[in-house]
Structure 1
Amino acid sequence: MIIGISGMISSGKSTLTTNLVKKFDNSEMLLEFNENDEVFNTFLRWFYEQKENLTIGFQTYIIENHSSIFVKKISEFHEKNKKNKVKGHFFLDRFSLEHYIFAKINLAHKEEKYMRAYDLAFKELITESELPDLAIFLDLNFETFKKRFFKRDRSVETDNWEKNKNYFETLYKNYKSIFIQLCKDYNLKYEIIDTNNLTEEQVQKEAEKIINYYASKNETNN
């Protein structure tokens, strides 16, 4: 299965995705972005520094970059899995559809034509083949988000917290509801894990139960 690990910034997606790849044989993952992606990191820094007139360029770069890498990686993954008796899963650390959430929030202050333009690009670039068979949403409250946000200590984020506090609050307030609506619009299966009082190990156990349940259903249907 293609499985999207979803959720707000600092919800634990990357940690869970990495651990699940280790747990399930012959599985692979695609991170949301490469830590050494100079273009992404520059855009991100400019975004948090609130440079003007870069929002739609940043959002378009993200979906174009993620989409092109996904197509290559998933093709390689399917080819390798043909040779394995035990079929692995392909995990996505946030999948392409979720970037629509950021665009909707980030372009809200712009003229409507910008969101219309992004909509057109999004619908052309994101195809059904990129959507996961299952999405697991890691839910958390705002205080937990803030605690984890500062704990992971990415300077580009924490150094600009006060400048972007309203943005993070707005993103948090809308993220889950827009995610659920997108899943309904695109007919995606999704499950939600409340991570607030769970350890990383407990979150992983919950995710494993969900994955095994859907995997067994797929085998039965096939």
Structure 2
Amino acid sequence: MAGRLRAPTGRYGGKSAEERKAERRSRFLDAALQLFGDTPGYRGTTVAALSEAAGLSTRQFYEEFRTLEDVLAALHLQVNAWAEQAVLAGAADVGDAPIDERAAAIFRAYAANVTADPRRVRITFVEIIGVSPRLEEQRLARRSRWVDLICAEARAAAARGEAAQRDYRLAAAAFIGSVNGLLHDWSAGWVDATLDQVVEELVRQLLAILRPVGWQET
């Protein structure tokens, strides 16, 4: 179409168009973490307010996102990705340690990452709820990844003779619900315990699932 503006492709200020685009997107997500994860929350934020907080224009917002829901979706995935990276690093640090040590490392890494910033807790457990069918599907899909991780750890422990041989998917789904609920309540100040005590309780619960009454290590 004649006269249509084309996105710049050259370097400006020492940065390529792709680098500038990534920087703008990062600034919008940082601003969203503040506004969605604190005050006024996702439902109280406007495109204009988010753009102002990011130090960018609404025109630049629409160059990166279609709606505020798109921003929340991207932020939810980012917060979960940070937590997953922390968990994988924690698991790698203990290598082939027994399941009780691996579980402690995994939950300590997850809990420390998510609760280090209360805004991450709110994005993960509060703001994402009830927004739309699309985000509910994303939330459940991301939750399924955590269930898969628990199942993988359980299968590996069973193969080493450290846990019972069984299908753990149902138990893992129920357990992840407990993890999310406990960490949310702890972060909100509803649970009188240290974070270490929270982690210890989660480890005890998981080991009780893996090692039911009457089971003996082989």
Report the TM-score when normalising by structure 2.
0.29
Higher relative contact order, structure no. (Cα contacts within 8 Å, ≥ 6 residues apart) = 1
Point out the structure with the larger strand share: 1
Larger Rg: 2
Point out the structure with the larger helix share: 2
